[in-house]
């Protein structure tokens, strides 16, 4: 008989959370540590990253801080030297330029694509190879509702999130036979530093809240259940998937035309 009580147990596992200094990454690091994983917290912001490690330690968890910049391959390589082949990789960083597509410059396009898409690719490639060599692992990336539905001003951001999803599907197909699972999570509107500009505009903030089934914004901690599912044995038969955690946004076709 299967021991269902241990489905989410991560005791003895190591995890790297890139973007652990704030928002969804910080909550994910705390959640993984709470279920027993030793967590490497990677971020470009050393101060925020240290705070995440402190919070985990105060709660009795195991964590250490690493400087990780997805735009810098050398930074990732140095982090890998510290972490080795972790069992779980969670990759959360993303930036956005909210402009009509015809107004986005080449520099802005490159900035969003280089971090969101190419940076995620770098992390997936480095850690995916190590997981495949060992025959076990779970890669969890963050796409978005924008991987499937868009609105004015979200063209390049949405393209990167759709690209992340398709990379995950391809890698899931390639590494499935080698024991590695690869999935994407699709948050809806979540209160994080990335969405702070919307919260500062009450009409915009309220409009987004009204466009999903629950009538409110999500919080970073509400993404953690999905991370734990995909990281643990509870998700042992889940790969190549986009797990929507969007309050029903895509189910009811939420849409808002923002004040660009």
Whichever domain contains 39, its CATH number is 3.40.50.720
Q: What is the pLDDT of residues 25-82, one digit of tens each?
A: 999 999 999 999 999 999 999 999 999 999 999 999 999 999 999 999 999 999 999 9
Per annotation, catalytic residue among 4, 127, 136, 157: 157
157 is catalytic: yes
User: Is residue 255 scored above 70 in pLDDT?
Assistant: no
Q: Could you tell me what percentage of the chain is helix, strand and coil, using 3-state DSSP and rounding each to the nearest 5?
A: 50, 15, 35
Domain encompassing residue 66? 8-188+221-245
User: Is residue 86 scored above 80 in pLDDT?
Assistant: yes
Question: Number of structural domains, the chain?
Answer: 1
Q: What is the pLDDT of residue 259?
A: 75
Asked whether residue 228 is domain-assigned, the answer is: yes
pTM greater than 0.85: yes
Q: Are 18 and 39 in contact (CB under 8 A)?
A: no
Asked whether residue 160 is domain-assigned, the answer is: yes
Contacts of 249 (CB under 8 A, 6+ apart): 145, 149, 188, 189, 211, 212, 213
183-204 b/e with 16+ CB inside 10 Å = b?
bbbbbbbbbbebbeebeeeeeb
Asked whether residue 13 is domain-assigned, the answer is: yes
Q: What is the pLDDT of residue 192?
A: 86
* pLDDT band with cut points at 50, 70 and 90 for residue 193: confident
Asked whether residue 82 is domain-assigned, the answer is: yes
Asked whether residue 3 is domain-assigned, the answer is: no
User: What is the pLDDT of the chain when averaged over all its residues?
Assistant: 95
Asked whether residue 24 is domain-assigned, the answer is: yes
Asked whether residue 92 is domain-assigned, the answer is: yes
User: Is residue 243 scored above 70 in pLDDT?
Assistant: yes
Asked whether residue 172 is domain-assigned, the answer is: yes
């Amino acid at each position: 008989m299967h021991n269902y009580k241990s489905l989410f147990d991560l005791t003895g596992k190591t995890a790297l959370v890139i973007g652990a200094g704030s928002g969804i990454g910080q909550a994910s690091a705390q959640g993984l540590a709470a279920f027993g994983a030793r967590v490497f917290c990677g971020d470009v912001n050393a101060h925020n990253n240290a705070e995440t490690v402190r919070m985990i330690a105060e709660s009795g968890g195991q964590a250490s801080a690493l400087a990780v910049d997805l735009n810098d391959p050398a930074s990732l390589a140095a982090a890998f030297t510290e972490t080795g082949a972790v069992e779980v990789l969670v990759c959360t960083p993303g930036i956005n330029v909210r402009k009509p597509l015809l107004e986005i410059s080449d520099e802005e396009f490159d900035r969003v694509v280089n971090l969101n898409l190419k940076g995620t690719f770098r992390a997936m490639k480095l850690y995916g190879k190590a997981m495949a060599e060992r025959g076990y692992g779970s890669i969890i990336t963050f796409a978005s509702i924008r991987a499937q539905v868009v609105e004015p001003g979200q063209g390049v951001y949405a393209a990167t999130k759709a690209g992340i999803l398709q990379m995950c599907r391809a890698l899931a197909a390639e590494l499935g036979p080698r024991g590695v699972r690869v999935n994407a999570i699709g948050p809806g509107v979540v209160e994080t530093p990335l969405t702070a500009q919307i919260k500062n505009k009450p009409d915009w903030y309220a409009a987004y809240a009204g466009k999903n089934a629950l009538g409110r914004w999500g919080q970073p901690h509400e993404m953690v259940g999905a991370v734990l599912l995909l990281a643990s044995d509870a998700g042992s038969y889940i790969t190549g998937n986009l797990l929507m955690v969007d309050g029903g946004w895509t189910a009811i076709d939420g849409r808002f035309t923002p004040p660009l």
